[in-house]
Structure 1
Amino acid sequence: MIDNIKFKISTIDKLRFEESIEKNELISLRSTFDRQTGEANDYPKVGRLQNMEIRITKKAAIVKGSIHKYYNLMKGLGNQNYNDFSFKQFKLAIDDLCEKLQLDKKETKITNLEFGFNITVSKNPKLLLDEHILMFDLKDHNRKHNYKGNGSYKEFERTDYKIKIYDKGKQYSILDRNLLRVELKIIASRYLNRLGIINLNQLGNYAFKSLFEAFLTHLNKLTIVDSLKAPEDIRIDQRILFDYCINPNHWSRIGTQEKKETLRELKKLIKKYHLNKTHCVLRDDIITKYLFLMDIKS
């Protein structure tokens, strides 16, 4: 669920945190040098604990990295984040990190985090991204590329968040199953604040429930169809409607009221001809995975 996370030490706790990090034998801080005098600059000070980066400037102190990878490194499971990462494991990882960095959870403001799921799917993730997962909120992806040479990737970017979908298995050369990553990346603290998440101390059951509800809301805004071809027995006007509606350029050319009416007709069409099985299966699998990782009995 939660993977990358970034948090800022509060101003009133920054000095104490900095002093504790400098005395911490687990962390080696590095600073830059003045090329003319050869003297070390006071700031920035940069260090790492496992994969987590610590950066201290004159005015701020930040910790960031994949808490999922941190847990796996802590448990000797490697520098990876493709396995399941439960709520209980998240809490163990955060508690361990806070203990080793002497963090005060109430004095850490969360500014960014990623919340998502690694899901085993029946189809090749590249096929899903190319021919089934088409749009988000009726808009085209902002980025689509071969993820660092290791699999297909789509990103839908908005002001406060991004929806990221990519081939997790290909990223890690996993050959025995099709592993898809679907992720909500929150890049603005105001979004988190609306969910009631401000500091590390608030990342409990309620916060995970709020994050999951937000995630499902966004998942439902994805346009996912079973086929790019309209059914053979469909009326000609419905075929035209379908062909237009699976093209994101069509939605950018019509007004708000027409968009509402067209979307209503498209949904009726998809339901009538059962073109939403891929979407329903993905949604059901994600809900099942969430319940499992939260240890909630359905």
Structure 2
Amino acid sequence: MVDGIQINDFKGVFPDDADTKTIVSTKTGVLSEKETALYRGLHIASYTNGRMRLSGSLTTFINGDNTINLSFDQVSNSIDELCKLFKTKPDDNVLNGLEIGLNIKVNFDPDRFLNNLLSWNRIEPLRWTGKKECYVQFRNSQLTFKVYSKSKQYSLTDNLLRLEIRFDKMQFAHKYNVRTLADLKDRNKIESLLNVLIDSFDDLIYYDDTII
């Protein structure tokens, strides 16, 4: 479901309870040209020229983390709540970045599956394995497709695999008439984006080591 959003010209204001910060240079004492806040998983920056930028996870905004799949109604309600808190309207905010993600409980070790991924649309994987994170990433000119272990990231007992598509070039999402926050409240448009994610999963090539 819809998760990450990025709006480079956000038409809102800081919520009243936002803990805003301004960086001051320890050498010159000069204030930074932006005021920032981390608010319920959303990163907000306000610049001296009046422009604001917002990015982050709608799922974290609602749930505290993104280990669940939001329903369509939850996505719609999260946008309504965001707009109420930031005193803005969905139609006024053009999307510059968008992520669609899906968490899937599986009966196998996600790390093992990631290790056996070979390619996606003839693109070789970029792998990252850390203490708290393990994922495989594929990129083309418009999309980033990421497969990773939520189990490892959040130390979960369940085997939780996450699939995620990031629209690096919003022109791709424009093909499905997704341009503003308001479009993320349209069920048909969201279903079209979910199909992009599902089709991407179908295009994965992996090695099944259980048949040996």
Normalising by structure 2, we get a TM-score of: 0.88
Counterpart AA for 1:145: W
**Residues 60-88 of structure 1: CA distance to partner in whole angstroms, max 9, x if unpaired?**
3211111101101xxxxxx3211232111
Match of 1:94 among 76, 79, 82: 79
Inter-partner Cα distance in structure 2 for 1:128 and 1:37: 51
Match of 2:92 among 97, 107, 111: 107
Q: 1:37 to 1:130 in 2, by over 3 A?
A: closer
Equivalences for residues 139-288 of structure 1 within 5 A? 139-141=123-125, 143-146=126-129, 148-175=130-157, 177-203=158-184, 204-227=186-209
Structure number with higher helix proportion: 1
Inter-partner Cα distance in structure 2 for 1:140 and 1:35: 44
Structure number with higher strand proportion: 2
Pairwise CA distance, 1:154: 0.5
**Residues 193-235 of structure 1: CA distance to partner in whole angstroms, max 9, x if unpaired?**
12211101111202211201222232222113534878xxxxx
Inter-partner Cα distance in structure 2 for 1:228 and 1:156: 24
**Residues 238-263 of structure 1: CA distance to partner in whole angstroms, max 9, x if unpaired?**
xxxxxxxxxxxxxxxxxxxxxxxxxx
1:62 lines up with 2:43 in the alignment: no
Moved over 6 A (4+): none
Give the match for residue 18 of structure 2.
Answer: 27
Instruction: State how many pairs are aligned.
Output: 210
Percentage of identical aligned residues: 22
- Aligned to 1:9, what secondary structure does the other structure show? coil
- Aligned to 1:27, what secondary structure does the other structure show? coil
Structure 2 gaps of 5+ residues are none
Q: Does structure 1 conserve the Cα–Cα contact (< 8 Å) formed by 2:123 and 2:139?
A: no
Structure 1 gaps of 5+ residues are 73-78, 231-298
Q: Does structure 2 conserve the Cα–Cα contact (< 8 Å) formed by 1:9 and 1:107?
A: no
Inter-partner Cα distance in structure 1 for 2:18 and 2:133: 35
What value does the CA root-mean-square deviation take over the aligned residues?
A: 2.3
Match of 1:53 among 36, 43, 46: 43
Rg comparison, structure with higher value: 1
Normalising by structure 1, we get a TM-score of: 0.64
1:129 lines up with 2:129 in the alignment: no
**Higher RCO (CA < 8 A, seq sep 6+):** 2
